[in-house]
Copies of this chain bind each other. A is one copy, B any other.
């Protein structure tokens, strides 16, 4: 794409994301719960449980995209390589979430015998497979676009958790690692978008998946909150 056009496009997406994030954070029951100063690490554990689930699928659905790229031009080959490289980088990251979960002192979990995901997480996972294996081959970039640039948005919520739940770096390797590589990845994805010959339809599809996948992720956060509260209610000795 023309560099100026790409820069404007990216800027407009960032503005839209800014609004969406503000609206999500303002309405989020999970954020409200955290802001009451909650000290219970099990809430963080429930969040890590869901993170384990969708993260383990992210590498796979990212790799699936290559089935869908025509591969007739240098740029298409370049994009296929980006997808595989990105899938490669994400492979096994769920083990960081697992490590963090097991570091909390609230139980020991293994991948073989892991609790089932919440319906909202299942929904997100299926959504991501769906947009990866069919439809516009570029649309999954909308997910990566917001995901790689998201740390700034929940930094303050995360800090609240860290303080109130007395979390050390060793309980947060997933976040520490990802916030480190995020800046790099975010630049990479912006460069990629600039270099690809995206059509108006491609850009619309990317934009749609960007907003929808963020909203689906927000549903996961609400699900974590709901799950925490209903477990508290039902069961005095609740377990993840």
Contact = CB atoms under 8 A, between A and B. Distances in A.
B63 A111 contact: no
Given A88-B84, A92-B71, A59 B64 contact: no
A101 to B, nearest CB: 15
A66 interface: yes
A190 interface: no
Interface string A55-74: 01001100110110011110
A27 B223 CA distance: 12
A112 B73 CA distance: 9
Interface stretch (A9-17, A35-43, A121-129, A155-163): A121-129
Contacts of A88: 81, 84-85, 88
Contacts of A73: 111
Interface of A: 27, 56, 59-60, 63-64, 66-67, 70-73, 77, 80-81, 84-85, 87-88, 91-92, 94-95, 110-112, 116, 119-120, 122-127, 129-131, 208, 212-213, 215-216, 218-219, 226
A213 to B, nearest CB: 8
Contact of A87 (B56, B66, B219): B66
A105 to B, nearest CB: 23
A226 B24 CA distance: 12
Contacts of A111: 70-73
A228 to B, nearest CB: 14
Contact of A216 (B77, B92, B123, B215): B123
Nearest to A95: B77
Contacts of A126: 122-123, 126-127, 129-130
A219 B123 contact: yes
